[in-house]
């Protein structure tokens, strides 16, 4: 018989509940999580587009650092295009040739070991 989540949560110590709340907030504050949610994509949908499992997308969303090629593929999986722009007092410069430096294979080493 499945346990009700509220019952399970109620039996946890206040410290454990606080830790869970902190981790949930950390995940929800991720820019990639917020972007995916704003575009109304599920992790499963993004995973299908990238040729990965849902758990790999979850790990990607929690990363604080990743290759530009990985970020480009993540954004592309939701129909977007990544643009990198350098801003100077004299004006902006779009940097568009970094993609040629990264491998374009579908798995790209499981998106750099998501």
The per-residue DSSP string of 72-88 comes to HHHHHHTT----EEEEE
* Rounded Cα distance, 77 and 5, in Å: 32
Domain membership flag for residue 113? no
- Residues in a beta bridge with 80: none
Q: How many domains does the chain have?
A: 1
Q: Say whether pTM exceeds 0.85.
A: no
- Residues in a beta bridge with 88: 91
Of 48, 46, 51, the closest CA to residue 107 belongs to 51
- Residue 67's domain comprises 5-107
Which regions of 5-111 does DSSP assign to beta strands (E)? 84-88, 91-95
pLDDT in tens, the chain (114 residues): 456 888 888 899 989 888 888 887 877 788 999 999 999 999 999 999 999 999 999 999 988 888 988 999 999 999 999 999 899 999 998 887 764 444 444 444 455 555
């Amino acid at each position: 018989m499945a346990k009700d989540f509220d019952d399970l949560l109620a039996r946890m110590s206040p410290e454990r509940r606080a830790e869970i709340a902190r981790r949930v907030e950390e995940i929800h504050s991720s820019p990639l999580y917020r972007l995916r949610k704003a575009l109304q994509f599920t992790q499963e949908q993004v995973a299908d587009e990238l040729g990965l499992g849902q758990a790999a997308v979850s790990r990607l969303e929690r990363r604080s650092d990743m290759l530009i090629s990985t970020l480009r593929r993540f954004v592309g999986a939701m129909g977007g295009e990544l643009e990198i722009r350098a801003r100077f007092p004299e004006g902006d410069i779009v940097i568009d040739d970094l993609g040629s430096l990264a491998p374009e294979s579908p798995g790209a080493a499981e998106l750099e070991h998501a």
